[in-house]
Structure 1
């Protein structure tokens, strides 16, 4: 576990049963360390795959219950003008890249396949939902990147936020 609210144990915000990672957080939780100004989160950083060049891909099957909104569920960490290059969020049943554009609607309570491809050499990112290209654009620069998934509180959050993940893969071209 990479980031977890500092005052609770891992089993109070994370479970792994039958190949499914379940991560949850409450909007009233504390940050991952005392004195941090970040919002509550429970995330897994995929270690051993940090990169600064080449083309990298995250693939995973995600699930978001209908009570969850105002949360990042996956990100490419590392950028020049902000901490991330890409952030897949959930707002009112839609997947978005940051606040917009909408990548997919009506995603609550069903599994979807998320593929994020980052060509660090060309400075380009692509987001696929269930095999369909939903976004292509520039990254935010930066010299070092890695993938994270879980729940990280964002704008206008629900009290309880959850995502589930299975079949996580990281690939390099």
Structure 2
């Protein structure tokens, strides 16, 4: 029988401990407090000229949002592009550090296949037909936004400055939008750092 050197016997448990601590510390929700979230915190926004059930559905815990590039905005007075979104209510904020978490999926063929930050920084490629854990941390005072995909930081940059803020998820047409856009969301949570 071969005996392992004492150095190796000591180092191996230490490496296992360090690896375990690293995995736990990488969760973007560490240090945040989960907030109560229910149907009362959900406001669905869809094109104003069609019934909501023609651009949004909820089944088996999954919120499904879809919109066409030719659709109207969510109100008749809005100058925005077409959207089918969930606006989180009850947690509007103008200071502090806040976090949104949700799992999303995009069906194949809806757009170019890449998730981007304001059509500039690519966060993830080939996103079709898979579920992703999506976390956004907004530090208002530092004017900073961090985006995590499956626990990996994909973006760390400037926010939108001071003002009133809130979270949304769904689909919102942008310049060069495809004819049909869809996303699905589940397990939505809101956190705050105190």
Q: For the superposition of Structure 1 and Structure 2, which TM-score range results when normalised by the shorter chain?
A: 0.7 to 0.9
Whether contact under 8 Å (1:67, 1:158) holds in the other structure is no
Give per-residue Cα distances to partners, 1:98-130, cap 9 Å, x unaligned.
011101111111101100000112111100001
Offset, 1:37: 2.2
Residue of structure 2 equivalent to 1:86: none
Matched, 1:23 2:65: yes
| Pick aligned residue for 2:103 from 61, 70, 82 | 61
Give per-residue Cα distances to partners, 1:49-68, cap 9 Å, x unaligned.
10111110000000011222
| Pick aligned residue for 1:48 from 81, 90, 100 | 90
Higher helix proportion (structure 1 or 2): 2
Residue of structure 1 equivalent to 2:186: 166
Given the two structures, how large is their TM-score scaled by the length of structure 1?
0.84
Please list, as runs of the form range in 1=range in 2, the aligned pairs for 1:118-157 lying within 5 A after superposition. 118-157=138-177
| Pick aligned residue for 1:95 from 115, 119, 123 | 115
Whether contact under 8 Å (1:60, 1:169) holds in the other structure is yes
Which secondary structure does the structure 1 equivalent of 2:167 belong to? strand
| Pick aligned residue for 1:4 from 40, 46, 54 | 46
Q: CA RMSD in A?
A: 1.1
Whether contact under 8 Å (2:46, 2:56) holds in the other structure is no
Please list, as runs of the form range in 1=range in 2, the aligned pairs for 1:71-82 lying within 5 A after superposition. none
Matched, 1:33 2:75: yes
Given the two structures, how large is their TM-score scaled by the length of structure 2?
0.75
Provide the rounded CA distance (Å) in 1 between the counterparts of 2:79 and 2:141. 32
Which 4+ stretches in 1 moved above 4 angstroms? none
Whether contact under 8 Å (1:116, 1:127) holds in the other structure is yes
